[in-house]
């Protein structure tokens, strides 16, 4: 669809205002929010990722594309999140220490809030102790860790160990995700759940919160 191609192209150029206007237009044209996200914005971000890998674009271009992505996602938020019966529960989420990527984490947060969960957003570059302190102090049933770098995903294992060390491992579920993370890795570090996308992460968190209620 042409407008989805236009959204992808505007995102790749980092044109946040154009992305916002095109996303609004696509919503008015009744294009499903999921298609706008996946075939428009994420399509553009994947192309930027490939070009970044091949040294065809550099950090500044990727940063403006990321900003455009965040602005476009904010417009989509009410259309992406599910309606109907609201779940209850509290979750803390963050991108692990050493890692500044937050687009996926923000999407996961958005989908969880859309399901009615309270989400404590710890931001990026979050140390294992800070995940565990937040879970203890704010009575979170679930800790959600996001990592985008192969060099930072091991921090997720440290979060599991820290929860054990501080005696809360049997009171919280630990969920992990992000592009380099796999089911096998999640099992290896002793996490409770790996999900590959934001919507499945929200479903899994709702289930955990219901079990622990
Ligand atoms: Co970075 N970067 N980056 N980057 N960047 C990647 C990840 C990379 C794959 C690019 C590449 O080489 N092709 C590569 C990692 C290579 C590797 O480790 N194997 C890379 C690199 C190398 C780097 C730097 C080291 C570059 C440098 O400085 N030399 C540097 C590291 C900085 C740091 O973190 N310390 C860096 C910096 C940056 C920017 C700051 C410029 C920017 C981030 C801006 C921001 O986030 N605000 C950036 C970006 C944008 C990317 C790419 C292009 C896009 C990432 C993204 O947002 N994707 C990325 C290439 C790519 O992925 N194609 C790349 C969209 C997002 C929706 O996907 O986060 O995977 P994702 O989330 C998905 C799922 O994974 C899942 O849900 C989402 C979809 O529904 N999910 C979860 C995510 N978290 C979850 C948690 C869950 C469950 C599911 O449960 C708790």
Please compute the mean of the pLDDT values over residues 34-44 and round it to a whole number: 93
pLDDT at 149 over 90: yes
pLDDT at 47 over 70: yes
State residue 50 phi and psi, 5-degree precision. Answer: -65, -45
Residue 93's nearest CA partner among 79, 110, 77 is 110
Residue 37 has, within 13 A of its CA and on its CB side, a CA count of 21
With bands split at pLDDT 50, 70 and 90, how would you rate the model's confidence at 55? Answer: very high
Q: Is the CB of 144 under 6 A from ligand 1?
A: yes
pLDDT score for 115: 85
Instruction: Using the mean position of ligand 1's atoms as its centre, give its distance from the Cα of residue 148 in Å.
Output: 5
pLDDT score for 114: 82
Instruction: Using the mean position of ligand 1's atoms as its centre, give its distance from the Cα of residue 130 in Å.
Output: 21
CA distances from 62 to 7, 14, 22, 208 (A): 16, 8, 20, 35
Q: Is the CB of 62 under 6 A from ligand 1?
A: yes
Instruction: Using the mean position of ligand 1's atoms as its centre, give its distance from the Cα of residue 102 in Å.
Output: 8
Q: What is the pLDDT of residues 99-143, one digit of tens each?
A: 999 999 998 998 898 888 999 999 999 999 999 999 999 999 999
Element at 19 (helix H, strand E): helix 16-28
Please compute the mean of the pLDDT values over residues 61-80 and round it to a whole number: 92
pLDDT at 200 over 90: yes
Residues 132, 158: contact at Cβ < 8 Å?
A: no
Q: What is the pTM of this model?
A: 0.92
pLDDT score for 45: 92
pLDDT score for 181: 98
State residue 53 phi and psi, 5-degree precision. Answer: -60, -35
Residues 60, 68: contact at Cβ < 8 Å?
A: no
Report the alpha-carbon distance of residue 45 to residue 112 in Å, rounded.
Answer: 22
Q: Is the CB of 59 under 6 A from ligand 1?
A: yes
Q: If you take atom 25 of ligand 1, which residue's CA is the nearest one?
A: 149
Using most ligand atoms within 8 A of CB, pick from 47, 104, 120, 200 the residue to mutate for ligand 1.
104
Burial bucket for residue 124 (CB in 10 Å: 0-12, 13-18, 19+): middle
């Amino acid at each position: 669809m042409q407008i989805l191609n236009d959204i992808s192209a505007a995102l790749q150029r980092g044109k946040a205002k154009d992305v916002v206007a095109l996303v609004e237009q696509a919503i008015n044209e009744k294009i499903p929010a999921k298609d706008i996200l996946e075939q428009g914005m994420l399509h553009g971000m994947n192309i930027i990722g490939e070009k970044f890998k091949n040294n065809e674009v550099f950090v500044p271009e990727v940063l403006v594309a990321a900003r455009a992505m965040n602005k476009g996602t904010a417009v989509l938020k009410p259309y992406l999140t599910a309606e109907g019966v609201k779940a209850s529960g509290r979750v803390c989420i963050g991108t692990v220490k050493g890692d500044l990527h937050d687009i996926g984490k923000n999407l996961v947060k958005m989908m969880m809030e859309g399901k009615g969960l309270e989400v404590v957003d710890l931001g990026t570059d979050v140390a294992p102790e800070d995940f565990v302190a937040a879970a203890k102090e704010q009575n979170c049933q679930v800790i959600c860790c996001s990592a985008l770098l192969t060099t930072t995903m091991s921090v997720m294992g440290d979060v599991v160990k820290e929860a054990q060390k501080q005696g809360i491992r049997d009171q919280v579920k630990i969920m992990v995700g992000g592009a380099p993370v796999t089911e096998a890795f999640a099992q290896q570090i002793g996490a409770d759940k790996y999900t590959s996308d934001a919507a499945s992460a929200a479903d899994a968190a709702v289930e955990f919160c219901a079990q622990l209620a």
